[in-house]
Structure 1
Amino acid sequence: MLNICGCLVQTAPDRTASVIEALNATEGSEVHAHDKGRIVVTVEDTQTRRASDLIMDMHQIPGVIGVTLTYHHFEALEDDAPATLS
């Protein structure tokens, strides 16, 4: 399965650099742009964590004021086994 989310992370302006560092150090997240305390991030499922859990964890990074989900895409990949009904 492909599960990818786009988020806007609002930070205290003086903490933006440290928040970016924390986000980039988190498996499954990638910073794409930032300006004046706003950071654009994509978050994907990893082998061990769901994107939704990673997004919830972002709220706990010191300096983060808020996280807004702005985009969500979910689809089955070709190599995914089909679901069976019981």
Structure 2
Amino acid sequence: MSREFHISSLVVHSRPDRVPAIVESLASIEGAELHGGADAGKLIVTLETETEAQVVERINAIQLHDGVLAATLVFHHFEPVQERE
């Protein structure tokens, strides 16, 4: 089975009063990185994962956080990982 590398970007719309807690919880999600938007409640997040299923799993986890109104996938790209000999 060939390995893959997935990179995705999301916009996470949230209640402004819950942004600090959401930012803190994003830090605990493996492969998630915040790139801004906290001041407006529209967080820009990237995910780096090994499988498409992990992308879906992490988006679902983000959507379940208290104060998250929506987590919208904006971009998804994947490539096979080159094996070293």
Aligned residues: 79
| Root-mean-square deviation (Å) | 1.8
TM-score (norm 2): 0.84
Higher-Rg member (1/2) = 1
1:3-46 Cα offsets, whole Å, 9 max, x none, are: 11100000001111110110111111111112311000011225
Unmatched segments (≥5 aa) in structure 2: none
Q: Which runs of 4+ in 1 moved over 6 A?
A: none
Q: 2:74 aligns with which of 67, 70, 75?
A: 70
Letter in 1 for 2:70: G
Unmatched segments (≥5 aa) in structure 1: 81-86
TM-score (norm 1): 0.83
Alignment partners' CA distance in 1, 2:79 and 2:61? 23
Alignment partners' CA distance in 2, 1:51 and 1:45? 6
Identity, % of aligned positions: 32
| Aligned twin of 2:34 | 31
